[in-house]
Chain A
Amino acid sequence: MRVTVTINGQRRSDEIEDRLLLVHYLREVAQLTGTHVGCETSLCGACTVLINGKAVKSCTVLAAQAEGVEITTVEGLVKDGHLHPVQEGFWEEHGLQCGFCTPGMLMLTTDLLSRNPDPSEAEIRHALDGNLCRCTGYQHIINAVQYAARKMRETRKSA
């Protein structure tokens, strides 16, 4: 079957097998390997991408179900050569060690901050519920989200 989607602003159309999962479509067909495959069972969040701005686990979505939508992957966060504030936060606050969970964490954080520009620590912990990290112990990730939230609020104020 044919699927037509917009990935990070670029429209593309591909012939795919009906059972192809979105995460494999992104990695193997669109060649965007920033989205990781962890558990494959919708528990770890490593495969999180945005569909029309909402965070979803792409290992539990068929590529066919993505017909007509806008997908943002971690490759789509950089604007004009500048890191997205969420990426900057993870960089500045040491929000990663091995980096395996990071693309998913970044995409989830992007969704969170679009609904709640000033989340409390408890709200951040609650929001990160579906994303696992085996390295950081989470505290640095929480600091990173807070950094990004601050930065995005400041940018909005000065704009």
Chain B
Amino acid sequence: MFPASFQYHRAASVKDALGMLQQFGDDAKLLSGGHSLLPMMKLRLAQPTHLVDIAGVAELSGVREEGGKIVIGGATIHDNVASNQIVRNKLGLLAEVASAIGDIQVRNRGTIGGSLAHSDPAADYPAGVLALEGEIKLESSSGSRVVKAQDFFVDLLTTAIKPGEILTGVSFTPHPARTGFAYLKHRQPASGFAIVGIAAMVTLDAKGNCERVRVGVTGLGAKAFRPAAVESALAGKKPDTGAIGTAAAHAADGIDPLSDIHASADFRSELARVYTRRAIQQAIARIKT
């Protein structure tokens, strides 16, 4: 199994990569970890004639703190996000999501930018990036812009990225005080992809009521989303078992669920409700007061 012929180009910098994207236009694709793109090319589901490899671009890789935010470079591999001390200490939900992806070998190659750009409906990162309200940085030869996670995922395998743009990084606010988080997923046993994955982050106020509840759902629908009704049902409330159960029952509201040999639409919806309840419970149980 091998891909159709193409020309391989190694980019030395973001500028270099942007120049090549402009030069080759629609015939070019960015190559980061290659763990979504190469399998598609082997199946001839994708046949780009030019690959622009950005994996070696130093400015795209790594974790840095910048003006109170934590910025993950677009070409940072999953394993480096999962094991990074800044991420583990200040952005634990993202570390937990990254370490839930695939297997060791996949985490050693796949990158956050590639995962978000590919936007597989069963990918893990989208749930975490939504719950964390990440901001996605895009750069093109005509300038740069920032897209909120909420507006980034458009449809099945479709994002807000325009032709000629590179996802250079994702910026996050560190977890505030009195915050707990959890990422729970029901795995597809062969690939590790999420049949349903729920990222939950809960911040309590001084009285122990919910100040902020954020939930990201992946695997259920064509794209990852935040279940607004779950979040608002808990806002300002005491998070007791009854309130959490009532809120989590809305996890699949308004979604047209995917259905395949691994899980029917009904089963996926039920998984989403149950895992949302458990993820919120676990997030709250982990809050250090």
A62 to B9, CA, bound (A): 12
A43-B191, A51-B108, A65-B55 are known contacts; what are 19 more A-B pairs with Cβ within 8 Å?
A1-B8, A19-B4, A19-B6, A40-B42, A42-B105, A45-B105, A57-B106, A57-B109, A60-B39, A60-B109, A62-B8, A64-B53, A65-B34, A108-B104, A111-B104, A129-B102, A129-B104, A130-B103, A131-B103
Given known contacts A42-B39, A62-B38, is B105 in contact with A19 (CB within 8 Å)?
A: no
Q: Which residue of B lies closest to A47 (CB)?
A: B105
Q: Nearest residue in A to B38 (C-beta to C-beta)?
A: A60
- Nearest chain A residue, comparing its CB with the CB of B106: A130
- A26 interfacial contact with B, CB 8 Å: no
Asked whether, in the complex, the Cβ of A42 is within 8 Å of the Cβ of B35, the reply is yes
CA distance A112 to B38 in the complex (A): 25
A21 interface contact, C-beta 8 A: yes
Q: Are B105 and A108 in contact (CB under 8 A)?
A: yes
Binary A-proximity of B10-40 (CB < 8 A = 1, otherwise 0): 1000000000000000000001001100110
- Residue pairs across A and B with Cβ atoms less than 8 A apart, 23 shown, are A17-B5, A18-B5, A18-B8, A21-B2, A24-B2, A40-B42, A42-B35, A42-B106, A43-B190, A45-B105, A55-B105, A56-B109, A57-B105, A59-B1, A60-B35, A60-B39, A60-B109, A62-B31, A65-B34, A65-B55, A127-B103, A130-B105, A131-B103
Taking a contact as CB atoms under 8 Å apart, the answer to whether A130 and B104 are in contact is: yes
B-to-A contact residues, CB < 8 Å: 1-8, 10, 31, 34-35, 38-39, 42, 51, 53, 55, 79, 102-106, 108-109, 190-192
In the assembled complex, the Cα of A127 lies from the Cα of B2 at a distance in Å of: 28
CB distance from A51 to the nearest CB of B (A): 8
A151 on interface, CB distance cutoff 8 Å = no
B53's partner among A45, A59, A65, A130 (CB-CB below 8 A) is A65
A contact residues around B104 at 8 Å (CB): 55, 108, 111-112, 127, 129-130
Q: How far apart are A156's CB and chain B's nearest CB, in angstroms?
A: 21
Which of B2, B10, B53, B105 has most chain A Cβ within 10 Å?
Answer: B105
Cα of A116 to Cα of B10 in the assembled complex, Å: 33
Residue of B nearest to A115 (CB): B83
Q: A54 within 8 Å of B by Cβ? A: yes
Number of A residues whose C-beta is below 8 Å from B?
A: 32
**What residues of chain A lie closer than 8 Å to B106, measured between beta carbons?**
42, 57, 130
* Chain A, range 78-98, C-beta contacts under 8 Å to B: none
Q: Which residues of B contact A51 (CB under 8 A)?
A: 108
Q: What's the Cα separation between A111 and B191 when bound, in Å? A: 20
A5 contacts the other chain (CB 8 A): no
A51 to B104 Cα, complex, angstroms: 13
CB contact under 8 A between A54 and B79, given known A19-B3, A19-B5: yes
Chain A residues, CB < 8 A from B102:
129-130
A56 B8 Cβ-Cβ under 8 A = no
Q: Are B103 and A18 in contact (CB under 8 A)?
A: no
A77 adjacent to chain B (CB < 8 Å): no
Contacts A60-B34, A60-B35, A129-B103 given; does A54 touch B55 at CB 8 Å? no
A92 to B8, CA, bound (A): 45
**Whose C-beta in chain B lies nearest to the C-beta of A3?**
B8
B residues near A24, Cβ cutoff 8 Å: 2
Interface 1/0s, chain A 99-139, versus B by CB < 8 A?
00000000010011000000000000001011100000000
Whether A41 lies near B6 (C-beta < 8 A) is no
CA of A48 to CA of B106, assembled, Å: 11
A92 to B1, CA, bound (A): 36
Residues of A within 8 A of B192 (CB): 129-130
Residue of A nearest to B4 (CB): A19
Residues of chain A within 8 A (CB-CB) of B190 are 43
State the CA gap A61–B7 with chains docked (Å).
15
Q: Which of these, B42, B53, B108, contacts A41 with CB under 8 Å?
A: B42
* Residue A75 CB within 8 A of the other chain: no
Q: Chain A residues near B103: list those with CB within 8 A.
A: 45, 127, 129-131
